[in-house]
Structure 1
Amino acid sequence: MTGIRRCGKSTLLSLFENHLIKSGVSKNHIIRMNFESFDFDEITTYKDLHAYIKKRLKNNSDRHYILLDEVQQVSSWEKVINSFLVDANVDIYITGSNAYLLSSELSTLLSGRYVEIKMQPLSFKEYLNFTENHKDDSLQDKFNQYLEFGGLPTVVQLMDHPETIGPFLEGIYNTVLMKDVIERNGVRDAALLESILKFISDNIGSIVSTKKISDYLTSSGRKTTSDTIYNYLKMLENAFILYKAK
């Protein structure tokens, strides 16, 4: 399951875990790990991950369900996934907050053995389902809120305290930009990256080219090239901050 942070991947994984239990699967046969939790802070390498899961597999004849949240935090994690698919009777579900989850190396290892579920923030129709308890608001008011605050599910939970929505969104923005773009790609010019993102945000609905962005930034005193712009746009797309309208 792939998608931007806080779009609901972990919730979907929890719903699936509940479904398994209701279907009669023993809790002992479900291995759930969230790598953003401090409980798994010491598992940083694929060898740590392999040892942890192997210890919890009761026996190889019974099917086990492995649910891994934000698995990209563990280096070379795909080796573990491939190993258990070969050596054990398992069904594996993984989530990640950037498109590198399905890198060429992983695609090669798991060729033909995975299905990607792409998750996005709430559509406006879904947003209306989430805000049924705010019946006093008109449809136009709800649409204005949706345009202003976006469709991350947590935003809906904060509607009773609107002053908290801005800081929440800013925190998500900074985390995604820092962890999924700057750190992940070793970006050296974070200021240029933000300038590009602001330009794109100001021009949503318009066709933009790397040359147009490059010319604008150069005229603003930020000398850059179309190639650099293209690379930065790709990074933002891989972190699910931007979606290309093909």
Structure 2
Amino acid sequence: MIKRERYMSRIRPFIGGDLVKVMTGIRRSGKSVMLELVKEELQQNGVDPSQFISINFEDMRYSNLLTAAALHDEIIRRTEGIPGKVYLFFDEIQEVDEWEKCINSFRVALDCDIYITGSNAKLLSGEHATYLGGRYVEFVIYPFSFPEFLELYRTIEPDTATQQCFQKYLLAGGMPYLANLRYAQDPSRQYLTDLFNSVQLKDIVKRNKVRDVDLLERILSYVIANVGTTFSASSLVKFFKNEKRTVAAETVINYIKYCCDAYLFYQVKREDLQGKQILASNEKYYIGVIREDRSSMCRWHICWQRRKP
């Protein structure tokens, strides 16, 4: 298991504090592993694992806890027999209706340290942020950077040159589970395709109640095929108009935003705009693994769909 010290160094100062630690990012980017790394850190600092309560809400065993009231009652019941501080770990918390009320109640009523993960950037928007306003700290967990990929890939192919490793990284990307497939070409491509479809269905179509799925797929295909180029909603509207299809620019912008909220696309805003030009929607979008420092995004974007085996 990669220690991911880059993230742990950011989380570590908040461990044991009363702020809710929120980890967001695209599905299968390693958020659950980050929870395990936090547990390891706590145990190394002398915390007994009996003080941990962990729930993954994608596990059907916890399907009876998908409302704030049910989860609240269960946690209060389980914490009654635990002396001292309680450490709560909730994976994919967005599956719980009105989860923010429940989490805020734990923070007020219990002596606890709370860690939650979610697969959507809207996790802390709107009403959710109102309940937790000023009482949380967020960490976006990305797939493996190249140094992290290299560390793991070298355990599988220890004698591979760095240049060849980078070529593999360009082709496969940084999704952690690929190591379980030993980065074999066909299984990796199948896994990434299924992951892409899962994000599209669960985090975009289902969560945002998208009705025109065909339009969404066409916009997805366009952005993927033109990754890194300036995007304009009005140009797509004109194209669809020529195809005898009426589409509002607002719809195109909303669909792109849904993709960004699901961490499928990453938006890079222009920095050279002034005045009313700032209001124009001429951003660039990248897909896959990117570095977090914006100055390097263009050099490090990965778009595995466009790569040929």
Query: What is the TM-score of this pair, normalised by structure 1?
Result: 0.94
1:233 is aligned to 2:248: no
Partner of 1:132: 154
Aligned-residue CA RMSD (Å): 1.7
2:168 to 139, 142, 145: 145
Partner of 1:21: 43
Output the CA distance in 2 between the equivalents of 1:123 and 1:150. Answer: 9
- Choose 97-106 or 57-66, whichever is displaced more: 57-66
- The DSSP-based 3-state class of the residue aligned with 1:244 is strand
Output the CA distance in 2 between the equivalents of 1:222 and 1:149. Answer: 36
Output the CA distance in 2 between the equivalents of 1:167 and 1:60. Answer: 44
Alpha-carbon offset, residue 52 of structure 1: 1.1
Output the CA distance in 2 between the equivalents of 1:214 and 1:151. Answer: 34
Output the CA distance in 1 between the equivalents of 2:241 and 2:165. Answer: 39
Is the CA contact 1:60–1:89 (under 8 Å) kept in the aligned structure 2?
no
* Larger relative contact order, structure 1 or 2 (CA cutoff 8 Å, min sep 6): 1
Alpha-carbon offset, residue 10 of structure 1: 0.0
Alpha-carbon offset, residue 166 of structure 1: 1.6
Is the CA contact 1:29–1:58 (under 8 Å) kept in the aligned structure 2?
no
Is the CA contact 2:29–2:142 (under 8 Å) kept in the aligned structure 1?
yes
1:64 is aligned to 2:86: yes
Q: 1:2 to 1:113 in 2, by over 3 A?
A: same
1:195 is aligned to 2:225: no
Alpha-carbon offset, residue 215 of structure 1: 2.6
- The DSSP-based 3-state class of the residue aligned with 1:41 is helix
Is the CA contact 1:217–1:223 (under 8 Å) kept in the aligned structure 2?
yes
Q: Give the percent of matched residue pairs that are identical in Structure 1 and Structure 2.
A: 39
Correspondence list, 1:1-246, <5 A: 1-58=23-80, 62-133=84-155, 134-159=157-182, 161-220=184-243, 222-246=245-269
Aligned pair count reads: 246
Alpha-carbon offset, residue 149 of structure 1: 1.9
Query: What is the TM-score of this pair, normalised by structure 2?
Result: 0.75
Is the CA contact 1:70–1:97 (under 8 Å) kept in the aligned structure 2?
yes
Letter in 2 for 1:231: N
Q: Deviations over 1:43-79 (max 9, x none)?
A: 2211111011111113687211100000101100111
Q: Which runs of 5+ in 1 are unaligned?
A: none
- The DSSP-based 3-state class of the residue aligned with 1:187 is coil
Q: Deviations over 1:136-165 (max 9, x none)?
A: 433333222222222111123323533211
- Choose 216-225 or 103-112, whichever is displaced more: 216-225
- Choose 207-216 or 154-163, whichever is displaced more: 154-163
Output the CA distance in 2 between the equivalents of 1:139 and 1:93. Answer: 36
- Choose 122-131 or 5-14, whichever is displaced more: 122-131
Letter in 1 for 2:134: G
Alpha-carbon offset, residue 18 of structure 1: 2.0
- Choose 125-134 or 108-117, whichever is displaced more: 125-134
Partner of 2:288: none
Q: Which has the higher strand share?
A: 2
